[in-house]
Every structure is written in structure tokens, then in C-alpha cells.
Structure 1
């Protein structure tokens, strides 16, 4: 399933941060969003995911085809690792969680409550949720935060398997995951210049950008 983004403008806190963002993401490919902190990577991902409205432009991809993984892991602390995955699998109409447990090296932790996991283990479990959604398009915001080198390699392998199966991934990350199937989109050229939502900035505002 192709992801089409055309002349998209997005805002954070009512202030435009990106404008004119245009790209195509084909099945079997990944697109890495790059740019300095604050350029709008998270805002762009949230907008594409449908979590906030765009100022302008169009996103052409069915919402039900996307799975979004943000900074928060979205875990239920009182449930075990396996119970968390089974909960999310059921939400998406699936049943099998074994492959996800194996992919993110969680088999030995399957009966441990999420509240008792380390930060890295929680992150692995949060990412394992992607594997039980059955969704073709992954939107990932700094997915390797809190992961050690071995866990980054596990995640990279999971992404490659997803792409090999015809899925796609749009992610904001500064980590090289070694994906031969990945392209890079630098967001700096799309930074909004001197605008506020609903109109242009005045001279006073422009002096203090």
C-alpha cells in the first residue's frame, strides 16, 4: 500500500513548523525522517497518523492501515508481557503473539508484569506491539530510545522482515538501522518560514522567531 503525502503543512501549539512536505512511500520501503531537534518530526508523524489535523495538504493512506509507535510505550503495568501483547492482538483481531515474543527477545519475560520491566525491556515490549497489529504501515517516532546495541539489532531485523513482507515504515531516528531498503527525507528544507496558523506573522513577531 502506497503512502502519499502532498504539500502537507503541520503545526505545533498553533505555530506552523513544516510546510510543503511531499513524498511517496512504497510497499517494501522505509523512509527515515531527519532534521534537527524541534524541526517537526514528531508533529509530522502525529499528523500523518491522524492524531492532529493538518493545516494544509493531503495524506492518502487509510487510517486502519497504520500503526503508530510514539515515545510512550502504551503498556498496561498490571499485565504481564504476554498479556499485554494478547490484549493488543485482540484489539486488532489477531491471536498469535509468539512471533512477536521471539522477534523482540521477550520469551523469558513473558510472565513478568510490565511494571517490573527495565526501561529497555518496556521499549522492546512496546515495539513488539507493532508485530501483533497486522498493519502494513508503521509510523515510528525515535523507536530505539532506551534500547541497547543488541536490542537495536533485533528491532532492525523486525523492520526488515516487515518490509520483506510488503509492509512499509516511516520513522524519525538518528540511529543507522542498516536498512538497504531505506531512503532519507531531510525536513529542514520544509521548515515553515514566518507563518502563524491563519496568516502571516507581523514584523514584530518575525524579529523574534
Structure 2
């Protein structure tokens, strides 16, 4: 099977994920992954798409299988049963630091960098007076990382590990993720107003190139 495109990836996500926050997280991580692909020098649009697809589906099984005993492992099984390429399956597994899959390829390293930070940036935006990522400076995110009472479920160590894996300074990676979210701010619910629901179809617009 060739690398899947956004349409089957979105269909898979919506089949397993009904909650809007998880769907928005998928779009957020997809945008970050596309930005990381371009930052890494990926020029082939199909390869940029593959990175985005990994971002979109990395948590597709989480709603049904939320425990560390199941999450990513059940998802990987499903992907293999449906004939998804092994490099996509492996990248999905690599985003979980307990999976036993060491992130080795640029794609696998990028999903570690994109996952936790994409969610954390969104959380930082929502506590601003504007409730928007559009006026969120990277420095504010760095400061929030030091506040252990804020967004306690976010693993700061994973965010720092992700920056190291992709060879970026933490502030650089944060700025990249913020920039990736800007064009999608309204759809992600970080544009100052409540986000519209993301239906099963059609596929949401592709994040524009930065």
C-alpha cells in the first residue's frame, strides 16, 4: 500500500474518534508535522503529506483504548490489519515513550516533537485574555513550561526531548508550532472564539505551507 493521503487518514480518525477536542488535536499535530517536514528540508509534497498523516492519526485509537496497555499498540495492530505502510505504523508507535520503539527516522523524531507541544501551545493560548494563539509569544510558552501547576498532564520532559530529537532549540520549536497553528486557529478553537464542530466529512482543508 502506498503512503495514505489525508482523505483515508481523516476517515480512519473519524471512525475511531468522535470527540471534538481529540479531532482538533489531530489537526494541530498534523500542521506541526507538516511544518517540521519543511523545516527538515523535505521537498516532495507526497512526503510532506505522509508526515502530516502521521500527525493526524497518531492518537486515532486513544478514545477507544486510552490506557498505556492498549494505546498505540491496538492502533498499530489496526493499521497493520488494514495494510498501512510499516513506516507509518512505526512512526505512530514511536510517539509514545513507553512503546519500546525508539524514534530513529526523521519522521519518528518529528512526531515526538510535535505531539505534546502542539497541545501545550493550544493550552497556553486559551488562558490568554484573547484566548488566541495569534498573539501568543514563544517566550510565554517557555514561561508556562516552568509552571508545574499549569496543564499538569503535559510531559515537559517529552517536549524537551522532542526539541533535542529534531535538533532545534526549545524556543525555535515552540515558534514553529505556533506558526503552524496560526492559519488553523479558528478551526482549532484557539482563534478567540469557540471552534466549529469537525464533521466526519468532508476532509478539513489542508494546512497551508508556512
With normalisation by structure 1, the TM-score equals: 0.29
Higher relative contact order (CA 8 A, sep 6+): 1
Structure with greater helix percent: 2
